[in-house]
Chain A
């Protein structure tokens, strides 16, 4: 079972958490004692760094700690943003079902931008080929059935930038 994504409560950071985010947003130090290294830079103890990271993990401020692969480099050369026009009154039902498919990595309700953009449900699908992605998109189309009035798949043709979060060191 895949649990639905938790609703996001806004939690602000205190000054030390914020400094820790800034110090780690580019990555953890690649040294045997990375938390000790961060503690030296922040002027606190390694124990405090670890406690704060654990707390941010538990609060969902940190989703996870580890490797963030470039999905192209690990074989997912086809990355399709599938977009769907479904009735607003059914979107939560369909969003939940589509998000529960094991090949969907992100699933959101976003606004339509008429007349250019009639789609309100976005589901990201990754695969080793466009054919594989399109086969998965067909599974979503079957799931939505007649409720889906139109859909499209936008394949990424190039990563232009990928740096992740960068919050500034000011204020």
Chain B
């Protein structure tokens, strides 16, 4: 499990300092490694290890789908506990499902599965929602973004 991976000070520095600003230059890992005070080969090996251990989900460009003319849509379902794993597999099987989280609330909120659909058009997202509804027999509730006030997911390492 990712929670149990031990990170040393260099790993932490990599994660904290390389969440953005990776160089666009012929040998970017060498440049980034120098700024971290390590060697290029060490940085490459550590990135591979952090990816393999799933401490990092990716290393590369983080795209803003809307700026490509695409669509990011938050959606939620109420999945009965008896059908949980079956519906997880079904929803996750769609490549348009970029993230999927199980959530719970103290107020017994109706929705326990929350996922983000990423696709290239409203039509493609609508089709995916319809296919999930048809295959599961459960309604999918969409929460389109009406306005974005702030987004920045950079976080300091605490592990």
Q: Do A and B come from one complex?
A: yes
Residues in chain B near residue A63, CB distance under 8 A? 20, 62-64, 151
Q: Given contacts A46-B26, A53-B24, A74-B55, is CB(A107)–CB(B149) below 8 Å?
A: yes
Does A152 touch B at the CB level, under 8 Å? yes
Contact status A66-B59, CB under 8 Å: yes
Residues in chain A near residue B149, CB distance under 8 A? 4-5, 92, 95-96, 98-99, 107-109
Contact status B150-A107, CB under 8 Å: yes
Does A146 touch B at the CB level, under 8 Å? no
Among A24, A71, A73, A79, the most chain B Cβ lie within 10 Å of the Cβ of: A73
For A50, the closest partner residue in chain B by CB is B24
- SS of A interface (majority): mixed
Query: Interface residues of B, CB < 8 Å — how many?
Result: 84
Contact status A167-B120, CB under 8 Å: yes
- SS of B interface (majority): mixed
Residues in chain B near residue A162, CB distance under 8 A? 57, 98-100
Query: Interface residues of A, CB < 8 Å — how many?
Result: 88
Which residues on B are within 8 Å of A, measured CB to CB? 2-3, 5, 7, 14-15, 18-22, 24-30, 40, 44, 47-48, 50-51, 53-70, 74, 88, 91-92, 95-107, 109-111, 113-115, 118-120, 141, 143-153, 155, 157-159
**Would you give 28 A-B contacts (Cβ < 8 Å), ordered by A?**
A4-B149, A5-B150, A25-B61, A27-B58, A28-B59, A33-B26, A56-B61, A63-B62, A64-B21, A65-B60, A65-B62, A67-B18, A68-B60, A69-B15, A73-B3, A75-B158, A75-B159, A92-B147, A98-B149, A107-B151, A116-B141, A153-B106, A154-B103, A154-B104, A160-B91, A160-B113, A164-B99, A166-B95
